[in-house]
Structure 1
Amino acid sequence: MDWRNIPSLSALRAFEAVARHESFTEAARDLNVTHAALSQHVRALEGDFSVDLVRRSGRGVVLTDAGRQLAAGLADGFGAIADTVAALREDQADRPLAVALTPSFAEHWLMPRLGAFWAAYPGVELSLQPGTALVEPRTPGVDVAVRWGRGGWPGWHETRLPVAHLVIVGPPKLLPQGADTPPETLKRLHWFLDATFAEGRTWAESLGLMGPETAATLLPTTGLLLSAVRAGYGLSVVPRGFVADDIRAGRMVPLVESDDSGLSYFLLCKKDRNPPGLAEFSRWMLQTAAAEIAEDALHAAVTAPAPPR
């Protein structure tokens, strides 16, 4: 590579920001430089190439054909640099494994089981990063993510976690007949549903357990749903893994379980990346989830009433 034929990297970086933001003002704010300095860099590039790269349009800019060509090349080039730098940093053995996950999964599934992970892998440090936004594969500082959905996230290697079978649960004091409670009784009880998960009510109605007249309160978090059920206020639809301990302890009564909603939690790993601790964390997640499914099945078989003779 002959660097003498390549314009100033500062100028190229400045133009890439202008092209990305389609605004000198936003680009200057992004790079923490003055508007005048940014304009000077772009004019220098236009002089070097003897062609216009941008045209002003109102408060923004519009790229010319040459500008779009240069912007595409710079996006690929700077993106490759960013990926390489991130990979080098992520492969450092002395840093914790960064796990991006939803707040509900962190609170109701991972944290109650995290002691077992620490006992099994005391040398693996974790950095938990709760949040609801789906991180992109190029996001720096994230090694693995746990997300709820139907799969199909580009750029990630996906593994479905068997923890999200949906179950309808309620407090024992409202369900003295347990799973044999008549559907008409369930329709008259109060329900608490996830405001972001309309499929919950649709599923319950398809089973004949809710009707148009059934009273339901929409709540914004899984934690509030579980608190309402534990307090004895009514029924809810939640992932089975979040209430497995409550069911085994008799604090909640399971009514119906389904794993065919199409929704699940997925373990998302970046393709072609293997940071320290990833194999151990992924293996523990899958083994723990699978073991609990087997334990729940055994518990259900042991506690089921004996058939009449």
Structure 2
Amino acid sequence: MNWRDVPSLAALRAFEAAARAGSFSAAAQELNVTHAAIAQHVRAIEASLGASLLVREGRGVALTDAGARLAATLTDGFGQIIAGVRAIRDDAEARPLAISVTPTFAENWLMPRFSDFWTQHPGFDLSITPSIDVVDLRRDGFDMAVRYGDGDWPGVEATHLISADYTVVAAPGLLAGRKVTQFSDLYDLPWLFETIHREPRLWAEASGLDPARCQIRELATLTMLLSVVRAGAGITVVASALVSDDLKAGRLVALMQETRDRTGYYIVHAPGVLPDRVKTLKSWLLQAARS
């Protein structure tokens, strides 16, 4: 297909609208441009094709034979384009909204709050995919993601959702009322860390935890780890937003904490105007983070 010999689509749209409406003014109003712009587009097509397409008739315009043939072809072609676009949009609206989140975020922050979302939006069809992989939204078919990091990712728009400051936590019964001001106050107690995500342990060691002076065990997931910590079997380091419900309920207590400026969980989506469903979910996430 060689487009170099074809007038611009903007010009063809202008001609098709004028031919269908029988008026440059009506076409200009439909396409939200000026009367002069429609006339200029039509003249450009006539010059390119070497044929007269429209002639003045009273206060409007009438089609020549060549104009009638081109108008019929364009009306059919644009109609197929519109039908194809509508079909894709209808398919997109019919499928569940796809969101990618980290398993830790899904299990410890998102899902405990999600009954509120479905209460507010009972007909909202949503597919949540937990994954530690950084997905390509367009390539992998996701409408939105929640990512952990500093929010600086190329090609996407990132909105800060919750901070991910590190907090040392334990069950109240494990501490037996002891005063904690530094890591050495806790060396006689077992420490628990995730096998996969090493950042909390690296932060603890950089902040003063000496692994040679305490007992450390590792578990595969944060969900497993927090279950053990809630049962009073050890101490761990975790993003405070992921244990906010535990801290409020008193199941865990915060012993030490570091506040980080940019690191946290971000809502990520393609730049530009958002579809209504994406806007709805994004708005709810931000509301849930504030509550």
Where in structure 2 are the equivalents of 1:1-309 lying within 5 Å?
1-2=1-2, 88-89=88-89, 92-177=92-177, 180=180, 183-260=183-260, 263-272=263-272, 274-291=274-291
Question: Distance between the aligned counterparts of 2:162 and 2:93, measured in 1?
Answer: 30
Q: Aligned with 2:274: secondary structure?
A: coil
Where does the alignment leave 5 or more consecutive residues of structure 2 unmatched?
6-83
Question: Distance between the aligned counterparts of 1:263 and 1:91, measured in 2?
Answer: 36
Contact kept, 8 Å, 1:166 with 1:238, in 2: the verdict is yes
Question: Distance between the aligned counterparts of 1:102 and 1:120, measured in 2?
Answer: 24
Q: For residues 93-147 of structure 1, what are the alpha-carbon distances to aligned partners after superposition, in whole Å with 9 as ceiling and x for unaligned? A: 3332111111221111111100111122234321111222111132243100112
Contact kept, 8 Å, 1:161 with 1:286, in 2: the verdict is yes
Contact kept, 8 Å, 1:187 with 1:214, in 2: the verdict is yes
Letter in 1 for 2:244: A
Question: Which of these two proteins has the greater Rg computed from alpha carbons?
Answer: 2
Contact kept, 8 Å, 1:167 with 1:256, in 2: the verdict is yes
Percent of aligned pairs with the same amino acid: 39
Question: Distance between the aligned counterparts of 1:106 and 1:182, measured in 2?
Answer: 31
Letter in 1 for 2:264: S
Question: Distance between the aligned counterparts of 1:254 and 1:203, measured in 2?
Answer: 16
Q: TM-score, normalised by structure 2?
A: 0.64
Equivalent residue number for residue 40 of structure 1? none
Question: Distance between the aligned counterparts of 1:90 and 1:266, measured in 2?
Answer: 29
Letter in 1 for 2:246: D
Question: Distance between the aligned counterparts of 2:283 and 2:178, measured in 1?
Answer: 36
Q: For residues 217-258 of structure 1, what are the alpha-carbon distances to aligned partners after superposition, in whole Å with 9 as ceiling and x for unaligned? A: 222311121012012110011121221221122211111222
Q: For residues 42-68 of structure 1, what are the alpha-carbon distances to aligned partners after superposition, in whole Å with 9 as ceiling and x for unaligned? A: xxxxxxxxxxxxxxxxxxxxxxxxxxx
Letter in 2 for 1:277: R
Count of residues in Structure 1 that have an aligned counterpart in Structure 2: 211
**1:219–1:88 distance in 2 versus 1, CA, 3 Å:** same
Runs of 4+ in 1 over 6 A off after TM superposition: none
Q: Aligned with 2:92: secondary structure?
A: coil
Q: Aligned with 2:93: secondary structure?
A: coil
| Higher alpha-carbon deviation: 132-141 or 108-117 | 132-141
